[in-house]
Amino acid sequence: MKIDTRKIPDEGVTLVEEFSPAELDLDTEIFKLSGLVKVKAIISKSYDAIGVVLTLDAPMLSYCSRCLQEIGSRFNQQLELHYAVDKLEPVIDLDPDIREEIILSYPINPLCVVDCKGLCPKCGHNLNEGGCNCGST
């Protein structure tokens, strides 16, 4: 998402945009955005600065850190950014900041349920689905 500071009216403006997560190169092995990212930017302008309140919303997919089960949920984050107005560089590219924000809020150890029992270290059986025979022998 790019903002042309010359085109922002004094009373501010709200922009809405959708982009594919592939454009930001965000996927990791344990986490990915599984659909379009919706961005809403409420932009305000003062004499020499631009304020942006961004709302990011996207379906996301992560994997349980114990049993590797897929977890579907939503990524929803609001953040505030501030930029100085530079007459030589009137166009501000928000993408690097959006990307960084999403990466910073990646879940570190996601769990499918709070008390996920994980996988049996011996046979790999998903212990949430019941016990295996490894423990009892």
Give residues in contact with Zn ion (CB under 5 A).
Answer: 64, 66-67, 69, 112, 116, 120, 122-123, 125, 132, 134
Nearer to Zn ion, 41 or 66 (CB): 66
Nearer to Zn ion, 22 or 68 (CB): 68
| Cβ 31 to Zn ion shortest distance, Å | 15
| Cβ 105 to Zn ion shortest distance, Å | 21
Listed residue (68, 54, 64) closest to 15, CA to CA: 54
Nearer to Zn ion, 96 or 135 (CB): 135
Nearer to Zn ion, 15 or 111 (CB): 111
| Cβ 106 to Zn ion shortest distance, Å | 17
Phi, psi of 24 (to 5 degrees): -100, -5
